[in-house]
Chains A and B, each alone.
Chain A
Amino acid sequence: MVEPATILSLKSLTKKFGSFAAVDAIDLDIAEGEFFTIVGPSGSGKTTLLRMLAGMEQPSGGEILLHGLRINDVPANKRPTCMVFQSLALFPHRTVGENIEFSLKMRGEAGDKRQARALDLMDMLRLPRSYYTRNVLKCSGGERQRVALARALAYDPQILFFDEPLSAIDYKLRKTLEKELKDIHRETGKTFVYITHSLEEAMVMSDRIGVMRAGKLVQVGTPHEIYTTPKTRFVAEFIGDVNVFAVEPAPGGMLRSAGIADDIKPPPLPAGFVGGHLVIRPEFLRFIESASDADNSVTGRLNNEYALGSRIQYQVRVGDSVLLIEKLGQQVFTGKLDDAVRIGWDARDSILVTD
């Protein structure tokens, strides 16, 4: 298989506001045609990064290379890229058709060619053709998203940037649009660079994810890699509920965690390990009858129970800590609150991270 070419390359890209570095010397290569998502909490700098790539902000240092050519000084209206804004920024004084055709009109294309292209895009995005003359204010939230997308695709840009466009929509619509975006990505074959604060959203749609924190990229990888092998505690906790506790070396190649257990069988320890955190996803913990049913086990008291639809989550109090277990709804568990329970996990299902 041919290695996909790198389309966008960031070299030590930095943006400083005064002495505060919103984006701190980021190196990244984005492959052509991939769906790359940058995830991070508010204030991590992801919006600033995206705006630099799109041409809305001037970098303080470093370079942005498109197909190997430096585009730092190319203004946004000359870059072959297009952005979908968080507020969508649809022109309220124009119809759907006029919005979609805007970039073509700016390039001086003829009216009938513009219209043909707009209608094609509307077909692809499943907007009824009758919407062509409808004012955008009269469209529903989902329809407006599609209009914004069609507008961005109209002049065939090489890269599309997305600034958290789905953050203000309700859950059900968001799930639908996430899948649609992924389909559109496949159909058009374009490079999508997306930012969001929800790792869950990123995992659904992306080919690769970059986790950003305080201006730096802490980990880049496929969704699977990020999920199963987080490099730091921050990345591990970013996805939501996860069990994390501090561990230090114990005799016999084991680990000890105060208040939880003194002889934890770990996954392969890196050389010179002096301490860190152990991460266990809730779905890898299970209720067991005896200590021999799993590599590691602890006893505790059942604290609480949460129904999460297809799964049920349990809170178990072990010493001073609370551990979370998840199991599928149809698996049977007959325990009551305040029961003494035994839970366990296998060493290979746990992850060691640095902080």
Chain B
Amino acid sequence: METKASHLRHALITVWTLAVVLFLYLPTIAITLASFTASRYFQFPIAEFGLEWWRKTFNSIEIRQLLSTSVTIALCVTVIAVSLAFFGAMAFARYDWRGRSFYQKLILLPIFFPQSVLGLALLLWFNALGLQLSWMTAVFAHLVWIVPVVTLVISIQVYSFDPALEEAAFDLGATRWQVLTQVTLPVLFPGLFSGALFAFLLSWGNFPLSLYTTGSDTTVPEYLYAKMVAGYTPGVPVLGTVSTIGAAILLVGGYGLILASRRARQSVSE
């Protein structure tokens, strides 16, 4: 139905969408610009451009410690989340069982929940149990929210998994373990990879949960927040830009890998 009215509508929608994209990325651009100033304070238009703060940030031991904490938490979260969520997704999407409907709704609850309140509730819980707050409690806190998300991501892949594949492998002589490693996991791999990517990135960028549960350890978002509130240096936008670009690279790279592997599977060789 290509009428003049619909052309106009489409044009308007396109313009609007681009405006929204600009709106979304304007702050990021501002942060990146702010990281290139040579002066101590932020002023626009930027008086002197310089890369000193970039140099200072990368050489800072404190920053390295932060990055290490954030990465450690993210990696732990990724490994545990994918392991738990793999089984969770099987229960969610593949098998028909009596509690399934209730289970599906239960999985959603930590997602449909204000994060700051969740963080505070966990703070209460950890204190009630007498646990020392550290990066490990932060891992636990992240998992409460991230395991359901990754379960959903993997479930999307599991929905299109043909159970006959496992039966065929079994019928052809494979043991249960071989079925898992030779058929189930490889076929589900794109979903597992997406889940891992999500888990890592969501943990890396998380602020509300980390704020209340890391105790004396500090993650990158926490540090940036503290500096924003008091003690601003252009190191903040540097780290902010690094964080953003890092996430973008991981996401685009991961997505590209999935696309490439899909293309490789369908290639005709010889």
Contact = CB atoms under 8 A, between A and B. Distances in A.
Are A and B close enough to touch in the complex, i.e. CB under 8 Å? yes
B52 interface: no
A155 B189 CA distance: 28
A102 B169 contact: yes
Contacts of B8: none
Contact of B165 (A91, A133, A135): A91
A257 to B, nearest CB: 48
Contacts, number: 76
B269 A151 contact: no
A155 B164 contact: no
Interface of A: 54-56, 75-78, 81-83, 85-87, 89, 91-93, 102-103, 106-107, 130, 133-135, 137-138, 151-152, 154-155
19 contacts: A56-B171, A76-B171, A77-B171, A77-B173, A85-B168, A87-B162, A87-B164, A89-B167, A91-B165, A93-B186, A93-B189, A102-B169, A102-B182, A106-B182, A134-B268, A137-B266, A151-B172, A154-B172, A155-B173
B172 A102 contact: yes
Interface in B166-197: 167-175, 178, 182-183, 186-187, 189
B62 interface: no
Given A77-B175, A89-B162, A92-B187, A138 B266 contact: yes
Contacts of A93: 186-187, 189, 265
B270 A133 contact: yes
Given A87-B164, A89-B167, A91-B165, A82 B267 contact: no
Smallest CB-CB A-B distances: 4 pairs: A89-B164, A89-B168, A103-B172, A106-B173
Contact of A77 (B172, B267, B268): B172
B269 A133 contact: yes
A183 B41 CA distance: 85
Nearest to B176: A77
Nearest to A55: B171
B167 A135 contact: no
A85 B270 CA distance: 29
Contacts of A55: 171
Given A134-B268, A135-B265, A107 B162 contact: no
Contacts of A137: 265-266
A138 B171 contact: no
Contacts of B267: 135
A135 B171 contact: no
A75 B168 CA distance: 13
B95 to A, nearest CB: 15
Contacts of A76: 167, 170-171
Contacts of A83: 167-168, 171
B166 to A, nearest CB: 9
Interface string B13-52: 0000000000000000000000000000000000000000
A216 B183 CA distance: 36
Contact of B172 (A75, A86, A155): A155
Contacts of A155: 172-173
Contacts of B268: 134-135, 138
Contacts of B170: 75-77
Contacts of A77: 170-175
A106 to B, nearest CB: 4
B172 A85 contact: no
A85 B164 contact: yes
Contact of A92 (B175, B182, B265, B270): B265
A131 to B, nearest CB: 9
Contact of B178 (A92, A106, A154): A106
Contacts of A102: 169, 172, 174, 182
